[in-house]
């Protein structure tokens, strides 16, 4: 989770930029520029997610040594880090869309989408819990539930909203 948080902060830098840029363009009633910036920021977020994912995947076999001298824990961590690496492009997309919709003041939608995403995530977690998977498999499935399942649900709910125009409130309204 420490590595996820570190990468989330890196990816969130783009979300902060998206938030400011989108808020400025919506305030200026510039829908075309808002749409253009949204597409650009999404590409940057997903692209940065690919880069961080590739770097993490390459470093995964050695990162565990930073946290523990136990070689068994290190090998279990490697599996989880590879799953986390696979989810980085999705995370980049999600974090940028968070910034876009926050910049648009779309807090109500974000809150409702969060409930939908939770409704997807809880059964995934329950499935991991009742599976009895342990060690590398258990941790791998746990990160699949979070890094791929939960984040994919977020990508879907945020992506559907971003495709519409309902979040684009122009001017000072």
Q: Where are the domains of the chain?
A: 2-163
- How confident is the prediction along the chain (173 residues), in pLDDT tens digits per residue? 889 999 999 888 989 999 999 999 999 999 999 999 999 999 999 999 999 999 999 999 999 999 899 998 888 899 999 999 999 999 999 999 999 999 999 999 999 999 999 999 999 999 999 998 888 889 889 999 999 999 999 999 999 999 999 999 998 76
pTM: 0.91
**DSSP per position, 91-109:** HHHHHHHHHHHHHTT-HHH
Identify the sign of the CA torsion 89, 93, 98, 100.
positive
What Cα–Cα distance (Å) separates residue 135 from each residue in 1, 76, 77, 97, 142?
Answer: 16, 6, 9, 34, 11
Residue 131 CA to residue 126 CA, distance in Å, equals 8
What's residue 1's pLDDT? 86
Task: Give 165-168 contacts, CB < 8 A, sequence gap 24+.
Answer: 165/31, 166/109, 167/100, 167/101, 167/104, 167/106, 167/109, 168/26, 168/31, 168/34, 168/35, 168/104
What's residue 115's pLDDT? 97
What's residue 173's pLDDT? 61
């Amino acid at each position: 989770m420490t590595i996820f948080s570190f990468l989330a902060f890196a990816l969130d830098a783009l979300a902060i930029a998206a938030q400011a840029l989108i808020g400025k363009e919506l305030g200026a009633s510039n829908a075309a520029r808002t749409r253009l910036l949204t597409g650009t920021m999404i590409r940057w977020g997903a692209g940065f997610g690919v880069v961080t994912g590739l770097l993490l995947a390459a470093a995964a076999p050695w990162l565990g040594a930073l946290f523990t001298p136990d070689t068994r824990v290190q090998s279990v961590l490697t599996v989880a880090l590879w799953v986390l690496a696979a989810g980085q492009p999705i995370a980049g997309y999600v974090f940028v869309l968070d910034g876009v919709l926050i910049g648009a003041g779309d807090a109500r939608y974000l809150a409702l989408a969060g409930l939908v995403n939770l409704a997807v995530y809880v059964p995934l977690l329950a499935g991991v819990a009742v599976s009895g998977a342990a060690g590398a498999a258990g941790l791998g499935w746990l990160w699949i539930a979070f890094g791929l399942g939960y984040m994919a649900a977020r990508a879907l709910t945020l992506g559907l909203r971003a495709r519409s125009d309902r979040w684009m409130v122009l001017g000072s309204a």
